[in-house]
């Protein structure tokens, strides 16, 4: 018995927008089902994130039986889980990768463009389209969705608690946008995780997650500060990168549930 349990399950359907807390989730090849399967791209077909557009934090999502509700201030739209994608593929750039995406519909693109004040498109990343994980860390030709680099991110509540003891103003877990949050164990013990099981699903930890300025954006207001990155830099920095959380690959593809035991 490890004493570790899965306490929170999060998905972020549209990259860099609000997350959704779930009681259970299906694990798919690219990560949790529906996690980061959509994103905005600009007029140059380049991905858009809070790093350059902090107001993306103000788009809040809720999950319904067949669709997501996307709310921005007092307005909202419904985004179906599955919709006919008949338009021509758009070759979009996300970090160093070029991937084939499909514009969901011009009405969605127009809605987001209007809210943000610049032209953009909402695109979907079909499940069958490839985007390989860095081969240096891959286990079985693993693919990733539109997440930054890996299918899943795990963070221990003890790690956040330890960080918050060092901060003047504590920050919530949503600053770090994890998929899997667990209770029990020592602060930062996820750094060394390799093979582990959550419920009946096997996973593999591959490398600690390097963090960026997105962690300094308040996910409720879209306002940006210096913390928690400034404090993390004092004790979690190496090779000019600041680390918090562990990148994870999925080996099995069954359901996970809040409260599942984590076993090594």
| Rounded Cα distance, 197 and 177, in Å | 21
Q: Tell me the per-residue pLDDT of 113-154, one tens digit each, with 9 for 90 and over.
A: 999 999 999 999 999 999 999 999 999 899 999 999 999 999
Whether 148 and 95 have beta carbons less than 8 Å apart is answered as yes
Helix (H, G, I), strand (E, B) or coil at 150: coil
Q: What is the pLDDT of residue 135?
A: 93
Q: What is the pLDDT of residue 126?
A: 93
| Rounded Cα distance, 15 and 28, in Å | 17
Q: What is the pLDDT of residue 2?
A: 72
CA-to-CA separations, 78 to 45, 108, 109, 111, in angstroms, rounded: 23, 9, 13, 11
Give the CB-side neighbour count of residue 233, counting CA atoms within 13 A: 11
Q: What is the pLDDT of residue 86?
A: 67
Q: What is the mean pLDDT of residues 37-47?
A: 98
Q: Tell me the per-residue pLDDT of 52-93, one tens digit each, with 9 for 90 and over.
A: 999 999 999 999 999 999 999 999 999 999 876 667 899 999
Domain boundaries, the chain: 4-263
| Rounded Cα distance, 100 and 112, in Å | 20
127-166 core/surface letters (b: 16 or more CB in 10 A; e: else): eeeebebeeeebeeebbbbbbbbbbbbbbbbbbbeebeee
Confidence of residue 21 (pLDDT cuts 50, 70, 90): very high
CA-to-CA separations, 254 to 13, 25, 169, in angstroms, rounded: 19, 9, 38
Computed over every residue of the chain, the mean pLDDT equals 96
Q: How many other C-beta atoms can be found within 10 angstroms of the C-beta atom of residue 217?
A: 21
CA-to-CA separations, 15 to 49, 125, 161, 255, in angstroms, rounded: 7, 11, 26, 22
Helix (H, G, I), strand (E, B) or coil at 73: coil
Q: Tell me the per-residue pLDDT of 158-198, one tens digit each, with 9 for 90 and over.
A: 999 999 999 999 999 999 999 999 999 999 999 999 999 99
Q: What is the pLDDT of residue 85?
A: 67
Find how far residue 1's CA is from the centre of its chain. Answer: 29
Whether residue 1 has pLDDT greater than 70:
no
Helices (H), ranges, 101-204:
106-116, 157-165
Instruction: Return the sign of the alpha-carbon dihedral for residues 221, 18, 31, 125.
Output: negative
Per-residue DSSP letter, 147: S
Domain 4-263 belongs to what architecture?
Beta Barrel (2.40)
**Assigned token pair, 190:** 């996820």
Q: What is the pLDDT of residue 87?
A: 78
φ/ψ of residue 179, rounded to 5: -95, -40
Query: What residues have CB less than 8 Å from 190, skipping those under 6 apart?
Result: 154, 155, 156, 159, 182, 205, 245, 246
| Rounded Cα distance, 34 and 26, in Å | 9
């Amino acid at each position: 018995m490890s004493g570790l349990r899965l306490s929170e399950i999060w998905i972020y359907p549209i990259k860099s927008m609000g997350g959704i807390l779930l009681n259970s989730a299906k694990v798919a090849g690219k990560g949790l089902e529906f996690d980061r399967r959509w994103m905005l791209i600009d007029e140059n077909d380049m991905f858009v994130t809070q790093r350059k557009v902090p107001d993306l934090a103000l788009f809040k999502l809720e999950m319904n039986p067949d669709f997501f509700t996307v709310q921005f201030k007092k307005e909202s739209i419904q985004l179906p889980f599955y919709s006919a994608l008949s338009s021509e593929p758009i070759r979009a750039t996300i970090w160093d990768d070029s991937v084939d995406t499909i514009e969901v519909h011009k009405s969605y693109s127009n809605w987001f463009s209007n809210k943000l004040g610049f032209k953009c498109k909402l695109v979907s990343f079909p499940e069958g389209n490839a985007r390989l994980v860095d081969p240096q860390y891959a286990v079985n030709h693993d693919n990733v969705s539109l997440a930054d680099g890996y299918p899943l991110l795990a963070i221990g509540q003890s790690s956040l608690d330890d960080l918050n003891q060092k901060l003047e103003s504590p920050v919530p877990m949503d600053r770090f946008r994890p998929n899997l949050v667990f209770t029990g164990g020592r602060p930062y013990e996820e750094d060394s995780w390799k093979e582990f099981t959550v419920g009946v699903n096997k996973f593999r930890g591959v490398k600690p997650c390097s963090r960026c300025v997105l962690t300094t954006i308040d996910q409720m207001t879209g306002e940006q500060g210096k913390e928690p990155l400034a404090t993390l830099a004092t004790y979690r920095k190496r090779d000019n990168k600041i680390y918090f959380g562990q990148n994870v690959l999925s080996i099995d593809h069954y359901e996970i549930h809040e409260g599942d035991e984590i076993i090594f």
